[in-house]
Chain A
Amino acid sequence: MVLFTLRKVAVLIGTMLGLAALTFIITNVAPGDPARLVAGPDATNDMVETIRREYGLDRPLIEQFLIYMGDLLTGDLGRSIVSTRSVMEELARYVPATLELVLVAMTLGILIGVPFGMLSAVYKDRFIDQVTRILSISGVALPAFWFGILLQLFFAVRLELLPVSGRLPLTALAPEPITHLLLVDTLLRGDFETFREALSHIILPAIVLSFPCLASILRVNRAEMIEVLQSDYIVAARAHGIDSRRIVMLYALKNALLPTIAMIGLRFGWMLGSTVLVETVFDWPGIGLYAVSSALASDFKPVVGVTLVIGFLFMITNMLVDLAYAWIDPRLRSAR
C-alpha cells in the first residue's frame, strides 16, 4: 500500500510538470503576441517593447521555459497585471472559497445521487425510475449558468428566501480563519449567526454546481446496481435466503460503488471547471471568478495559475479515488 501510494505521488509530480509545460506551450505557441496582449490595444510599439523586456519575453523560448519552470518550483506563479499582486497570494485567498463550494456540492451530489440510483435500479422501469431517469438526463443538459439565473430569480428575487449572490452579506464579519472554510470556521468559533448566513449563501450555487454531478452519479450507480443485481452471486445470495434489503445494501451496493467512485472523481474535476460559470453567476469569490475576470482583462498569469491549481486538485482527487478502489476491492489489494 505504501509503495502504491508512492508510485501515485510520482505520477502526480510528473503530470504536474507536464501540465506546467502544456500551459507554457499554450501561452507561447498561441499566435497572439503576449506582450501586446498585456499592453492592451491602445499601446504604442515602445510600450509593447518595454513590457516585452520587463517580462523577459525577448529571451529565447527555451530560456523563458526554464525560468518559468524554475519559478513554478519555488511557488512563484508571477504577478497579476490588474492587481499587481502575486498570483500565489491571490490564489491562497480564493482557493478556500471554491473548495468549500465544491465540497458542499459534491456532498449533495453523493447524498442524493447514490440512494436515488439505488432506488431507481431496484424499482427499474417503475415510476420512480422514470422520474429519476428524466431528472438525471436533464441534469447533464442544464446550462449551469442559466439554471443559476433561474434559481436566483425564483428563490432570491421572487420568494426572497435566499440571498442572490456572494459568500457573506457585506455587513457580516468573517470569523478568524482556522480552516478557511467559512462553514467550518463559524461552527468552530461558535458564531452561529454567521454560520446561518454562510449556509444560506452557499445553498443556491452548491445546488447548481451539484446538479450535473448528481445526475451522473445517479446514472452510473443505477446502471451498475442493475448489472450487479443480475450477477450470479446475487442469485446465490437470494437462493441462500438472505433478505433483499441486505442484498441491496451490502452485497450489491459495495460492488456497484466502485464505478460510482470513479465517476465521483471524474465529476469532481468537472465541478472545478464549472466553478468558472457558477462563481460568475453567483459572484462567489473563488478561483473560478478570479480566472474569468482575469481572462476578460487579458491578465494571463492568474488564468494559468488557476488552471494549475485546478489540475493539481483534480490529480489529488484521482489519487484518492485509486486508493479508495484498492481499499474496497481486495483483488486490487493483493495484485499489488
Chain B
Amino acid sequence: MTALLSIENYHLDIPTFDGTLKVLDGINLSLAQGETLGIVGESGCGKTVLARSILGIGPQRARRTSGRMTFDSMPLDELNEAEWRRIRGVKISMIFQDPMTYLNPLLTVGRQLSDVLVAHARALSRPALSRQERRRRCSELLDQVQIRDPERVEASYPHQLSGGMRQRILIAMALAGEPKLLIADEPTTALDVTIQAQILDLLRDLVHRLGLTVVMISHDVGAIAAIAQRVAVMYAGVVVEQGATNDILTHPRHPYTQGLLGALPDIEGDHQSLEAIPGTIPNLIHPPSGCRFHPRCPRATAICTSDKPAMTSIGADHVVACHHALD
C-alpha cells in the first residue's frame, strides 16, 4: 500500500537573531489512506511547525534544509501558490487549537462557512454554488458536527458562541471540502474539560463515519489515545518512538516516552506513579550532541553524547531511536 502522506528525513531551520533554530531534525513519518496518526510531545518540540508545514502555512522565515514531503504523489515542497490552492481545504484540511482566535471576529459564522464553500468550488474549477445550494450545504455541515440550530448559529458572530460551539464550526469548515487528510492541531487544548470530551467524541465519530485519514497533534496523551491508531512521540524536533497506540502506551521503550507517560496523573489512583521528567527542553540553537534527549535521560551513557541513535525496529509496528531501548 502506498502512503498518502510521507515525510522523509525532513529538516527545518528558523533563523533568529541569536542563531538558527534547528526546529525539525530529520523527521520520518508516513501515513496510509484511512490511518489515524497521533503526534505527541511537549510544547516547543516542533509538532505544530511540522503540522503547518504539511499545509504550507508554516512560519514565513522557516527554511527547509533537506528532506521532502509527498502527499498523494505530489511533492509538497515544490508547489506554487496556485497549486496549493487546489490542496488546501479540499485535499488537506486543518483544525486549530483556539477556536476563538481562529474565527474572524467581524464576520458571521454563516458568511465564513459559505466563503469556504465558494473557495473550494473555485479551487476545483466547479461551477459556483447557488445561494440555496450554499445554504443547504452549510446546514448539512453544521448538522454533521451536531449543531442543532444551524440558522441561529449561521447568523451569529463568533463572540456570541461558546468555545465548544466555535470548535464545532471550525471542524465543519475543515470538513467542507471533503478532504483526504485532516490535520488536527491540539483541537481540545483550549477547551473546558467537559467540552474536551464532547469534541473528542465528535471527532472519533466523524473519523469512523467518514473514514478520515487524520494526523492529530497534542501534548495530551489521553486525547491522542482516543483517536489515533498509531502514535509518534516527538522530542526537540526529532521523532523518538513510533508504533501502534496500544503498544506504545503499554510498552514504551524510549526513556522520554516512559517519562511522558509517567508524568500523566494516573486516574486509577496510584499517585506514586506521578513523576516529572527532570530538566527542561533543550535550546534548539545549540541542541545537545548525539541524542538530543541525553542531558535529561536517566540511562544516558558516553555513546548517547556522541552518536545520534538510529531508528530501529523492535516489534511488528514499533520503532524507537535510542541506544538503550532494550536495557
Are B119 and A251 in touch, CB under 8 angstroms? no
Pick from B98, B116, B160, B170: contact of A241, CB under 8 Å: B116
Q: Which residues of B contact A236 (CB under 8 A)?
A: 94, 96, 102-103, 170, 173
Contacts of B90 in A (CB 8 A): 241
**B81 touching A244 by the CB < 8 A rule?**
yes
Residues 50-92 of B contacting A (Cβ, < 8 Å): 52, 55, 57, 81, 85, 87-90
A15: B residues at CB distance < 8 A: none
User: Which residues of the other chain, B, contact A328 by a CB distance below 8 angstroms?
Assistant: 106
- For residue A202, give the distance in angstroms from its CB to the closest CB of chain B: 35
Interface residues of A, count at CB 8 A: 23
Q: Mark B29-56, 1 if CB is under 8 A from A, else 0.
A: 0000000000000000000000010010
* Bound-state Cα–Cα, A239 to B89, Å: 6
Task: Choose from B93, B98, B157, B160 the contact partner of A240 (Cβ within 8 Å).
Answer: B93
A330:B157 contact, CB within 8 angstroms? yes
User: Is A74 at the interface (CB under 8 A from chain B)?
Assistant: no
Contact residues of A between 305 and 336, Cβ < 8 Å to B? 328-331, 334
CA distance A328 to B107 in the complex (A): 9
Given contacts A330-B159, A331-B157, contact A239 B93 (CB under 8 A): yes
- Contact between chains at A240 and B116 (CB < 8 Å): yes
The reply to whether B57 and A239 contact each other, CB–CB distance below 8 Å, is yes
Contacts of B298 in A (CB 8 A): none
B175 to chain A, nearest CB (A): 11
Contact B96 A240 (CB under 8 A): no
Given contacts A231-B101, A233-B101, A241 and B106 within 8 Å (CB-CB): no
Contacts of A244 in B (CB 8 A): 81
Interfacial chain A residues near B88, Cβ < 8 Å: 238-241
Query: Closest residue of chain B to A235, judged by CB?
Result: B57
Determine whether the beta carbon of A242 is less than 8 Å from that of B57: no
- B119 / chain A contacts, CB cutoff of 8 Å: 240-243, 246
- Quick one: given A232-B98, A236-B170, A331-B159, are A243 and B104 in contact (CB under 8 Å)? no
Q: Which of B90, B116, B170 has the most A CB atoms < 10 Å from its CB?
A: B116
Q: How far is the CA of A237 from the CA of B89 in the complex (A)?
A: 9
Contacts of A238 in B (CB 8 A): 57, 88
Contact B104 A233 (CB under 8 A): yes
Please tell me if the beta carbons of B122 and A329 are within 8 angstroms of each other in the complex: no
Instruction: Count residues on chain B whose CB falls below 8 Å from chain A CBs.
Output: 34
Q: Which residues of chain B have C-beta atoms less than 8 A from A330's C-beta? A: 105-106, 157, 159-160
With A and B bound together, what is the CA distance between A235 and B106 in angstroms? 16
Pair B176/A235 contact, Cβ less than 8 Å: no
Q: Judge if B291 is at the interface, Cβ distance under 8 Å.
A: no
- Distance between B177 CB and nearest chain A CB, rounded to angstroms: 7
Nearest CB in chain B to that of A334: its residue: B160
Q: Per-residue 0/1 for B240-263: is the Cβ within 8 Å of any A Cβ (1 yes, 0 no)?
A: 000000000000000000000000
Cβ-defined contact, A246 with B115, below 8 A: yes
> Are A239 and B94 in contact (CB-based, < 8 A)?
yes
Q: Point out the residues of chain A lying under 8 angstroms from B160, CB to CB.
A: 330, 334
A328 — nearest CB in chain B belongs to which residue? B106
B57 near A243 (CB under 8 angstroms)? no
Q: How far is the CB of A160 from chain B (nearest CB, A)?
A: 49
Query: Which residues of B line the A interface, CB within 8 A?
Result: 52, 55, 57, 81, 85, 87-90, 93-94, 96, 98, 101-107, 115-116, 119-120, 122-123, 157, 159-160, 170, 173-174, 176-177
Give residues in A with beta carbon < 8 Å to B. Answer: 231-233, 235-244, 246, 250-251, 254-255, 328-331, 334
Question: 17 A-B Cβ contacts within 8 A?
Answer: A232-B96, A233-B101, A236-B96, A239-B55, A239-B94, A239-B96, A240-B88, A241-B85, A241-B87, A241-B123, A242-B119, A243-B119, A250-B107, A328-B106, A329-B105, A330-B105, A331-B157
Beyond known contacts A239-B88, A242-B119, A329-B105: 12 more, CB 8 A cutoff: A237-B104, A239-B55, A240-B174, A242-B89, A243-B119, A246-B119, A251-B104, A255-B104, A329-B106, A331-B105, A331-B159, A334-B160
Closest 9 CB pairs of A and B: A241-B89, A241-B88, A232-B101, A330-B157, A236-B102, A240-B89, A239-B94, A242-B119, A233-B104
